[in-house]
Amino acid sequence: MTQPLLANWNGVEQPLDEVRVSVLDRGFLFGDGGYEVLRIYGGRLFLLDEHMQRLVRSLDKLRIAADVPRIERRLRETLAHSGVVEGMAYLQVTRGEAPRMHRFPPGNPHPNELIYIAPLAGDPYGDARETGAAVLTTPDVRWGRCDIKSINLLANCLAAQAAAEAGCQEALLVAEDGAIVEGSHTSVFGVKDGAIWTTPLGPHILPGITRGLVLRLAARAGISVVEKSLHTRELGEIDELFLTGTTSEVLPVTTVDGRPIGNGRPGPVTRRLAETYRQVVDEMLAGPAS
């Protein structure tokens, strides 16, 4: 029998499958909440400060008043009690429970806070990391505030499902002008003549934590960065394409809509950044526990 996942629901540790939430929770009714996903390597939370800062920013923009330092303490405690060594942590904060009305309920309900820890068996993208992932393109039909990490993910789910049905690992979301914005749950980078291109930050993309790390690693490695969206018409001209994300790490893409990128194999710049990413994980594991 598999071990039940450990959750922390509003400060109470319990098995995840025993957590119960009211149907009047505004996350359930409206998708009114924010979330984070963190990677756990060697029992430690990777890029914890960056994720906590983004959670603060998302909740501020959503005007949900939650005690994020307390959530961070509970996250650390729940991880320690879970015994998980390799895995992911999920955090979600909704505006809480109140009679259904669109405007914020008078008197502000208590936010509902969920944390759970899930082990990962091996590398979920192990094969694709070696051979390269296949992706498809699909129109970006999301709302105008994708910089907020909100639990409203219906357009992302539909895009990811379309990708899965086509035998692809990810869907690239394309704006009306042909600009590739980001993936359904990843950030997107192109490589051309040794330089990397990525979509500039703005309301239309999530400021990916892994994206930020990769940009710092590129600067350290002397790889030039162009903050510019890649257009679908440019896909035939670029040398490499890769995705970044908390669970996908640095993932090479070798085909888009069935057409090869570059020579159809993971390229050297992507490989170098993937190796540097691993080195940062190793440095964290070798350093003092935070």
Nearest to 275 by CA among 246, 241, 247, 252: 252
Nearer to ligand PDD (CB atom), residue 97 or residue 183: 183
CB of 126 to ligand PDD, least distance (A): 17
214 — phi, psi (to 5°)?
-65, -35
- In whole angstroms, give the CA distance from residue 52 to residue 43: 18
Q: How far is the CB of 158 from ligand PDD (least distance, A)?
A: 13
Rg of the chain on CA atoms, in Å: 19
Handedness of CA 69, 152, 204, 222 (dihedral sign): positive
Catalytic residue positions, numbered: 149
The tokens describing 277, both together, are 């990413």
Applying CB under 6 A, which residues contact ligand PDD?
37, 156, 182, 185-187, 206, 208-211, 244-247
For ligand PDD, the closer of residues 30 and 277 by Cβ is: 277
For ligand PDD, the closer CB: 24 or 151: 151
Report, in Å, the least distance between residue 210 CB and ligand PDD: 3
| Strand pairing class (6-9; 12-15) | antiparallel
Tally the residues of the chain: 290
Q: How far is the CB of 182 from ligand PDD (least distance, A)?
A: 5
Q: What is the 3 state secondary structure string of 50-65?
A: HHHHHHHHHHHHHCCC
Question: Considering only CA atoms, which of 247, 239, 242, 240 is closest in space to residue 274?
Answer: 242
Q: Name the residue nearer to ligand PDD (CB basis): 95 or 185.
A: 185
